Structure 1
Amino acid sequence: MLNTPITRSLALCLATSVCGVQTALAAGFMLPEASTAGIGLTNALVANPEERGAFAYNPAAMGFHDGSSLALGTYFVGPNFSVDTASGRHDSEGAEWMAVPMIQGAFALDERWRLGFGVTVPFGLETRWPDGTFPAVSGTRTLGGFSIPLGHPLTSKVEIIDFSPTATYRVSDDLSLSAGLDIYWARQAKLDSTLGTLNGDGHGLGFNLGALYRQGAWSLGAVFRSSATLDLEGDFTPKSSVLVNLGRLARGQSAELEFAVPWRLQLGARHAFDERLAVEFDISRTGWSTFNDIKVRGKHSGAVIFADQNDWNDANAYRLGATYQLDDRTRLRFGYTYDETGQDDDHFSARVPDNDRHLFGLGLARSLGSGLSLEAAYMYVRAVDRDYRGVRDYTGGDLNGSTALAGDYSMDAHLIGLEVVKVF
């Protein structure tokens, strides 16, 4: 059986767009950024009835806006992963900057009903460790008198897009409710190790529910997005002809797997101190415990090709956002988030070298007249350095939680968002 589990590759989900994205901006492999307003406010938007950038976070916010709108934007990510191991300092390789799209439409049917459609990339991570980063699993071993490569965790990614149609109903002047679907498309699943390459794609379906209540200067919001299972199918091709000749691996075979993305719950409260200043505090809960036992099987044989157990924990993020109306045409945004990891030492993986993170955001929106506005934002993400030593000795098999991955891990990222919004 192969030593490199598929989950540690899939957990590296590369949430894609025009080019792809190379780092998760929240703990785990989640990418919650869905609008320029969200970037500036570090995603504290679930209780915001004023910002059209809140639609992607809580579709119920559409009920508090007249007319229709279309937002088109992108954000650019510049990530940095590095680790100090027994073989020295190593940086994860890859493109320095990647682009991710943000699309959100809201269409007014009458005074109460709104339809929305969004395209986002809610999950993603890619790491590319050079061969030799982890000495215990680098190089070769002898099997049957032949030398074969060890299961060094090199490059892996999954590219996922979320298409989200939603409907919003304005129950009263104070309350709006929404419901919708999350249609996930894994455009490409790829695991590239020294033992073989898995390529595939697939789909999954989830749902979302939202509510937004406003009373005077206060507003309260809640949104829930269900977990979803992506059914992926692909082909596994061994890299080592020795393993094929010895009968340890098939020369090529179809494979399938079920990969669960976590559920998400976000609750928030917002207070407008006056016509210029408003502050929101949100708590997000992510169901990382759904990212548990994953097995990849031969499509026809049913035999396990890869197996992995992660046992992550559900985790919280605490978000604070503030908006300030500088003048009739200019709005400023500020945000800070503390995002907890769901990955403990028992199942630490170098393919998802996660830790608690601090997010800092700044944003600007400028009205250009005729219902057109231009928005920009910047976010800095800094993970707490992780000094990982391993909880068990590595004796072969699963790398997660073992001393083979011992090292000092660090990560930070810069993010720049640009968006055009048109109100009809």
Structure 2
Amino acid sequence: MTTKSTRLILAGATSLMALTSAGAAHAQAFYLQEQSVRGQGRAFSGEAADTGIDSIWWNPASIAEIQGGEASVHASAVLPRGKVVDNGTVVVRPGTTGEAVGGNPVAKNPINNGVLPSGAIAWGTGKLAFGVSVTSPYSFTTDYASDSWSRYSADKTKLRTIDIQPTVAFAPTPGLRIGVGLNVEHVDATLSNYLPNLSSALPDGHQSLEGKGWDVGWSAGVQYQTGPLQIGLAYKSSIEHTLKGSVTIDGLLGPLAAQNGTINAKAKFSTPWQAVGSIRYRATEALTLNAQVVRYGWSKFDTIDLGAPLNTSIPEDYRNSWSYAGGIDYRVNPKWTLRAGVQYASTPTRNTERDARVPDSDRWNFSAGTSYQMSKSIAIDAAASYIAFKDAPINRTTAAYAGTVVQTPILVDGELQDASAWVLSLGARVAF
């Protein structure tokens, strides 16, 4: 393959690789928070301050006073709905002033339904505990039709992460708990989009990326309990990911036909850090009040850095954001507990930088749940959430073959409309 051909393949791959960690989810941008059914029932309003195995993702200190063993397993069915609508997207091919992108102007329900599993296990002496959680904090699948107006920005996307968090925690004095953990995270991504040929009379070309890699971050937290009040503070670090894989381009015609082929590729990006503050207050023997604030360090996802031979960076320009949640636990009797909560989360995407692969926006999360203690050692949890997303513009300009003489800008003008999601979850906790 010639140097010119390689340069054009890499240029075509640039816009694709820039989407490596993108996706729509249910906490913020491409982060999934459904790692505890108990927590979901109160809209994740008390997790950093609560104790036991189900809070280990938010605060590793939560397991410090475990005596014996605890384990939990969860599964969440995520059912998103919504429309991604074209309001006048234009393709500017070389030598033209631009023309309508064409294709189906409405993409309905482009984010696939899915099932999100998670679980954890821990063992402790009452003052010292060891545990491990397995979660999938960044996972999604989107599927736009081949004739969608968004096809040059997004076609099919599949992102899967596995986060393994080994944890140690201890309680130096009664009521004080401290914990730390490593976050060993694997990413596996398959992403694709269509490419405009130089004439609108020709069918589209296509490009796809496959990549994967392992990287490491850390978590730390502290909890303090005095009387009916529990306070928790925790921090989860950003993780810099490196994906190694390949980019394949096919279907280009005419002067672009020589650019079809496969080339090795590597991209680096960072997930956000999280700083969590949580309070739980036992107002009565039956009623516990919860509140939680999370600051997300999405500004870490500011660029996608591409390695040799391209050696360039693509701006993402995410901003730090917040979520706020309040909720209750109400113990009906020693075996049965009810929960409810509300959460508001702001999007880290900007109104001038949002694309169809990340149709994210501010959202409200309304949740309810319950737990039933079936025996001394087994509890069953259930929860349901309805998430309402604000309508938002999709208008991030991209370009096929960026940086070459055939650069083809895509002037995106669309909107996310009527978006919502149901999340239905079941889980079990076991003491041993």
Instruction: State the TM bucket, normalised to the shorter chain.
Output: 0.7 to 0.9
Distance 1:8 1:354 in 2: 16
Distance 1:205 1:273 in 2: 40
CA contact (8 A) 2:237 2:273 kept: yes
C-alpha distance 244-59 of structure 1, shift in aligned 2 (>3 A): farther
Structure 2 residue identity aligned to 1:89:
V
Offset at residue 152 of structure 1 (A)? 4.2
Distance 1:166 1:51 in 2: 13
Specify the SS of the correspondent of 1:123. coil
Distance 2:389 2:336 in 1: 32
Offset at residue 91 of structure 1 (A)? 1.0
Select 1:100's aligned residue among 85, 105, 116: 116
Offset at residue 127 of structure 1 (A)? 2.6
Distance 2:119 2:396 in 1: 43
* 1:205 aligned partner: 216
Specify the SS of the correspondent of 1:352. coil
* 2:137 aligned partner: 122
Specify the SS of the correspondent of 1:6. helix
Distance 1:121 1:369 in 2: 29
Offset at residue 126 of structure 1 (A)? 3.3
* 1:358 aligned partner: 364
* 1:146 aligned partner: none
Question: Which whole-Å deviations, capped at 9, do the CAs of 1:68-108 have from their partners, x for residues lacking one?
Answer: 1111221111111312224543214464x321112111111
Structure 1 residue identity aligned to 2:213:
G
Offset at residue 216 of structure 1 (A)? 0.8
2:250 corresponds to 1:233: no
2:425 corresponds to 1:417: yes
Offset at residue 190 of structure 1 (A)? 1.2
Distance 1:62 1:229 in 2: 27
* 2:32 aligned partner: 31
Alignment of structure 1 residues 130-141 onto 2, 5 Å? 130-134=145-149
Alignment of structure 1 residues 10-409 onto 2, 5 Å? 10-13=20-23, 23-50=24-51, 52-86=53-87, 88-93=105-110, 95=112, 97-108=113-124, 110-134=125-149, 151-186=152-187, 188-194=188-194, 195-242=206-253, 246-247=257-258, 249=259, 251-297=261-307, 302-303=309-310, 308-386=314-392, 388=393, 390=395, 403-409=411-417
State the aligned residue count. 391
C-alpha distance 389-330 of structure 1, shift in aligned 2 (>3 A): closer
C-alpha distance 221-152 of structure 1, shift in aligned 2 (>3 A): closer
TM-score, with normalisation over the residues of structure 2? 0.83
TM-score, with normalisation over the residues of structure 1? 0.85
RMSD over aligned CA atoms reads 2.6
CA contact (8 A) 2:71 2:122 kept: yes
Offset at residue 405 of structure 1 (A)? 3.2
Structure 1 residue identity aligned to 2:139:
G
C-alpha distance 89-197 of structure 1, shift in aligned 2 (>3 A): closer
Distance 2:105 2:256 in 1: 36
